[in-house]
Chain A
Amino acid sequence: MRNRLSPRFLCPLALAISLTAHAEDVIRIGYNLELTGDIPKVGEMSKQAGEMLKEEVNSQGGLEIGGKKYKLEFVYEDNEAKAESAVTTALKLIEKDEILAMIGPNSSKQAIPAGQVANDNETVMITPWSTNPAATLDRPWVFRAAFLDPFQGPVAVNYAVKTFGAKTAAVLYDLENDYSKGLAEIFKSEFEKKLGAGTVLSFESHGTKDQDFSAQLTKIIATKPDFIFVPDNYNQVALIVPQARKLGYTGEFMGSDSWGSAELMTLCGDACKGLSFSTHYAAAGAQGQTKAFIERFKARYNVVPDDVAALTWDATRVALQGIQNAGELTGKLKRDRKAVREGIAAIESFAGVTGNMKFNEQGDPIKCAVVVKISDTGAFEFKESVCP
């Protein structure tokens, strides 16, 4: 009697079959984001960009692959802006949520360890914002949408030398942040290569949770540099710049792309006006599809999309392009993930809202950087564009 399949048993079985059949028409992409922790605005902006893209694709019936429409399903997970949480989040997305590709983490501090997990588990990961070379280096499964720090460093050096007429510099960076430390070192070696050894007068660090920078700044100011390079996250910039002013520093600052968050101006206020930083795109004065993207984003969320939002948009579209290039989805996760990786690697040239990009063999895009200056109204104004 026990062997006979009772209707009671068959019923959930049929349901299960119908569910899996249904699930095949869905493409699931995972987001490994900084929704809480040090840089919550980064995660929020990424999520908003993802949601907007998902709705635009799904409202047209879904993504077409090999003549069949697939609905998009995005899973957003919080990595608390911590390296160890980024790893567990990546594992959860890959194993439990069975995603086809992962977007994020954004910050290099999380993207470097999470990239290892994605690579080991043979799942495509595209980090929108990470600029540290280690995130994608020797990892065929990991891609990015941003340029690299070895490219960004010289951009900052050249701009400062040309615009401020700088002959000496000082650096203040976050010791616990891979991104900040890496970029600080690249900047130092580039600057000294250009202007001679010893022209970086002081090279000081601080911790991620620090709020008082007076000791480091006093030391820096005493050496009288022409400008201070601060490759720090926007929340720390909002403390560092006013503190330097209160210690009597009147000179210039130069920042990096981690300044480019929508929250910089609300936290920093007037003290940051007039400063410049290198970044991925300038919202003020954008053209073409970038302009269209900014307008749709503004209409939906009532804020100007920052770098992270634009890069997440591009990263997700690269992933979708890769899935389309795969030709067809078999429903076998391992095989499909491989096809997606090959699909992305096969992209000849991609026109993103942050500029045209083309991936090299490391999975890094070759694209331009811009330098923006913060205007008196707090807008990020385009100053110059630097292409490789």
Chain B
Amino acid sequence: MIESFIQHLINALQWGSFYALIALGYTLVYGVLTLINFAHGDIFMVGAYIAFFVATFLLGLASLSGWAVLALTIPLTMILTSLVGVSLERVAYRPLRRKGANRLYVVITALMCGLILEHANLALFGASRKAFPPLIEETVYKIGDIAFTDLKLGVIATAISVFVFLHWIVTRTRIGMAMRAISYDRFAVPLMGIPPDTIIVTTFALGSGFAGLAGLLFAMSYPVLEPYMGALIGWKAFIAAVVGGIGDIRGAFLGGFLLGAVEILVVAFFPSSYRDLFAFTVLLAILVWKPTGLFGVARTTKI
């Protein structure tokens, strides 16, 4: 019983890691621009596809071993995915911001961008699923009845280090200070000599880059890729970010793990057909109790 519970806990940590990694991207952009970037789930999907193409290409170069391919795929995927995120900002969000459009329109634009990414993918690569090539030999470790793989531990470790890194950026660096400044007062910041566009682009690059990393790790853990894979997980990660308190990095991180844990533990102790019903009831209860989310504080500096 204890063993089975620990197994569920490991599963929850791994599954929550993906929510956390994606929720961090939502929260970064929201913190700076108060924009809910609904295309973020689809950027995650694009990240998984970029990882697929990069990995397949590198595996084609016969001289590379699996680990070397992985070592090259990680930075390449992150860079290419952040380029996608940044160009989305440049093409879709910035013109609207320049014209002083209401935030509502930007949110709708974000939703449309997500759909465009999905359907562009569908049109370019077809509806057929892609099987992600196995890069590394996954080893299953067993302690009693508890089983875990090196990839699972890697995913959890990555989520934690990404959180620590982003938290450090936001609280300890000059660029992080500028991000907090923009979220505090968007109009005073240019007067202080801080270029807001550079900061916004950096934010998108960071958020999308880590979505790309999440896409790569997801593709390695669940190696069946399809154009709609980002939609549902993206929405759920958004809910996780809101429950944690959107705009707050700690909130996104904990919210992600909380959602992962609730989903897995509901299945563990109740009939699995009740999973989403119970999971979202719990989250709703949290929001009723604390509408700003776990770490959200009504109307203060966010991020």
Contacts and interface: CB of A to CB of B under 8 A. Distances in A.
Chain B binds chain A: yes
A98 to B, nearest CB: 28
Interface string B113-145: 000000000100011110100100010101001
A309 to B, nearest CB: 15
B123 to A, nearest CB: 10
Interface string B38-72: 00000000000000000000000000000000000
A218 to B, nearest CB: 5
A382 B21 CA distance: 46
A236 B122 CA distance: 19
A247 B128 contact: no
Interface string A206-232: 110101101110110010000000000
A36 interface: yes
Query: How many A residues are at the interface, by size bracket?
Result: 20 to 34
A13 B211 CA distance: 61
Interface stretch (A60-68, A238-246, A283-291, A299-307): A238-246
A2 B272 CA distance: 73
A35 B222 CA distance: 23
Contacts of A37: 127
B268 A218 contact: yes
B224 interface: yes
**From A204, A212, A266, A267, residue with most partner B Cβ within 10 Å:** A212
Contact of A214 (B14, B224, B229): B14
Contacts of A219: 4, 267-268, 272
Contact of A235 (B126, B224, B265, B272): B224
A41 B128 contact: yes
Contact of A40 (B126, B131, B218, B223): B126
Given A41-B128, A263-B129, A215 B134 contact: no
B224 A218 contact: no
A215 B8 contact: yes
Given A222-B145, A239-B224, A215 B272 contact: yes
A186 interface: no
B280 to A, nearest CB: 13
Interface string B267-290: 110011101100000000000000
A12 interface: no
A130 B273 CA distance: 23
A164 to B, nearest CB: 22
A91 interface: no
B127 to A, nearest CB: 3
Contact of B140 (A40, A218, A248): A248
Contacts of A246: 138, 140, 147, 149, 152
Given A175-B273, A218-B7, A263-B128, A212 B140 contact: no
A198 interface: no
A239 B127 contact: no
Interface in A158-213: 175, 204-207, 209, 211-212
7 contacts: A40-B127, A211-B222, A212-B11, A215-B264, A219-B4, A222-B4, A263-B128
Given A209-B232, A246-B152, A248-B147, 16 more contacts: A35-B127, A36-B122, A36-B127, A37-B127, A41-B128, A175-B273, A204-B267, A207-B275, A218-B7, A218-B268, A235-B129, A235-B224, A246-B140, A246-B147, A263-B128, A269-B134
Interface of B: 4, 7-8, 11-12, 14-15, 122, 126-129, 131, 134, 138, 140, 142, 145, 147, 149, 152, 218, 222-224, 226, 228-229, 232-233, 263-265, 267-268, 271-273, 275-276
